[in-house]
Chains A and B, each alone.
Chain A
Amino acid sequence: MGSFQKADAQKFDPATVSRVAGGGIYALAVEKPSEDRGKYAIIYVGKTSDLKSRLQKHLNDPSFAGVTHFFTESIGDEAARADREKDLIRHFMPMGNTLADLPRANATEAAYLAVRALWHRRVLATEEVGILGIDKLGRVPETVRLAANNVLKAIAKAEGKPVEQFDPTTAGLYLNLLYATIRNISTADLGYDPSEGQRLLSELRRD
């Protein structure tokens, strides 16, 4: 139940997306670099009655710029789609779904905690920091701690090893994915204006 029946990754580009038809579930993924090429990190799982239109929408959304591939399964029945989506989210625990369930401020805090754990991974083996430490952070709301832990657990599961054993490249990949995820959430919540961002940035550079 935990993997895609048609496990063929498809390139996340306009030509490929235009060939998709019908309703079903989909996963957005990022192909891992270098020696892990051909393996994918699932960052979001969704369901829709119109795969082509939903994927095209994601394709045109700058906040999904980091996605390289997608997976689909055609499922006509809405209830079956919902069940299958739940199964896949439970299995992959994609960071996009985990964090998108929280209010933006909490999602940002959870991403920040996960980023800290990934950044300091070499000392995670100590008892008070990192993944275990997150459980002990009394000042952080429980939902945030849980989300941060789930993100880290999902990352460790996807890599098949504890976070503290990640090499810098792998940790860097997930740090970037966490940023992309939190940027997506901010974009959806706050609205994103690239031209305004450029203008403000130019001002900062000029001052």
Chain B
Amino acid sequence: MRKNPLRLYRRHDTEKIDRYRSRNGVSTLPNRLVRNGRNRYWDNGTGSDMRESRQVVQWPAHCRTVRRISSYTSLPSMSSPLILYSAQTWLSYRIAERYYNNEHYVWCTPAFDGSSPYAVTYHVPPTSSPYEIYKGLYEEVSRGDRHSAGVARNKVGILRGASVKRGAGVISDAQEKEIASIIGSAETRDFKPLIYVIPYHLVAAQVTDVPVSDRAHPLSAEYVVESLQRGQFDVIEVR
């Protein structure tokens, strides 16, 4: 039987995990260790049938850091996802369209809703989940919540984006001022959420794996596409 090349590390040993990921093209790793006597299981986080999703790991008691597992049949090994999803707002979409030559800067994940039992085994924490972000924004915008946390976060993100684009010479000082003025005048309804659906194969060369220190969770599957062209994604608005 082929020797398993996969090594698992303690959950917070993120540099090693990152190195493993980049070397082997593994997009994600199981995310939760479950104890049961001397046996330990890696829960893949999907909430699906645990007997199927758990990988038995026999660990000698003295071992602490690096573990070799006995088989890897149920571990995720997809080298690339099919689709990437990103929750954005109408205003950020329009600003990118108007000021950034229709190039969109997006954080995205390979699972629309990481908590869904039907999700592939990607770990996506709620604060990075496009579904959760969309849902939260939708509710806040529907209520007309003037103190929406999601809207405040998006405003800071748009201002920061404008600052970065100005620094890179994409827009002028005057255009940065225009964007700041637009944000200052925007109402809650201008931040209605949109979902970007991005076929991975169209952006594979542009995708940046987010460094561990920038992710919402060390093991979460998050990517950045800095210059997503309009022809590379579809936009969905669920009402």
Which residues of chain A are within 8 angstroms of B153 by Cβ–Cβ distance?
A: 115, 119, 175, 179
- Chain A residue at minimum C-beta to C-beta distance from B189: A205
Chain A nearest CB, measured from B116 CB (Å): 19
CB-CB under 8 A for A128 and B218, given A179-B155, A197-B185: yes
The 0/1 profile, CB within 8 Å of A marked 1, for residues 120-136 of chain B is 00000111100000000
The reply to whether B159 and A108 form a contact with Cβ atoms under 8 Å apart is yes
Question: Which B residues from 144 to 187 make CB contacts under 8 A with A?
Answer: 147-149, 152-153, 155-157, 159-160, 163, 166-167, 173, 176-178, 180-186
Chain A nearest CB, measured from B171 CB (Å): 12
Would you call A105 an interface residue if the criterion is a C-beta within 8 Å of the partner chain's C-beta atoms?
yes
Chain B nearest CB, measured from A202 CB (Å): 9
The reply to whether B181 and A122 form a contact with Cβ atoms under 8 Å apart is no
Question: Which A residues from 114 to 153 make CB contacts under 8 A with B?
Answer: 115-116, 119-120, 122-123, 126-129, 133, 136-137
Total contacts A to B, CB within 8 angstroms?
131
Partner of A178, one of B156, B182, B183, B186: B156
The 0/1 profile, CB within 8 Å of B marked 1, for residues 143-183 of chain A is 00000000000000000000000001001110110110011
Which residues of chain A are within 8 angstroms of B32 by Cβ–Cβ distance?
A: none
Residues of B at the A interface (CB closer than 8 Å) are: 11-12, 14, 91, 94-95, 98, 125-128, 147-149, 152-153, 155-157, 159-160, 163, 166-167, 173, 176-178, 180-186, 190, 212-218
The reply to whether A183 and B181 form a contact with Cβ atoms under 8 Å apart is no
C-alpha spacing A62/B149, complex, angstroms: 20
Chain B nearest CB, measured from A138 CB (Å): 8
- Chain B residue at minimum C-beta to C-beta distance from A126: B218
The reply to whether B147 and A172 form a contact with Cβ atoms under 8 Å apart is yes
CB-CB under 8 A for A129 and B213, given A178-B152, A190-B176: yes
Partner of B180, one of A116, A133, A192: A192
C-alpha spacing A195/B98, complex, angstroms: 19
CB-CB under 8 A for A136 and B156, given A108-B163, A129-B218, A197-B185: no
Would you call A18 an interface residue if the criterion is a C-beta within 8 Å of the partner chain's C-beta atoms?
no
C-alpha spacing A19/B126, complex, angstroms: 49
The reply to whether B125 and A122 form a contact with Cβ atoms under 8 Å apart is yes
The reply to whether B125 and A176 form a contact with Cβ atoms under 8 Å apart is no
C-alpha spacing A62/B12, complex, angstroms: 45
Chain B nearest CB, measured from A141 CB (Å): 12
- Chain A residue at minimum C-beta to C-beta distance from B218: A128
The reply to whether B180 and A186 form a contact with Cβ atoms under 8 Å apart is yes
Q: Taking each of B14, B94, B148, B180, which has the highest tally of chain A beta carbons within 10 Å of its own beta carbon?
A: B180
Show 7 A/B contacts (Cβ-Cβ < 8 Å), sorted by A.
Answer: A120-B216, A126-B217, A129-B218, A175-B149, A182-B156, A183-B184, A205-B190
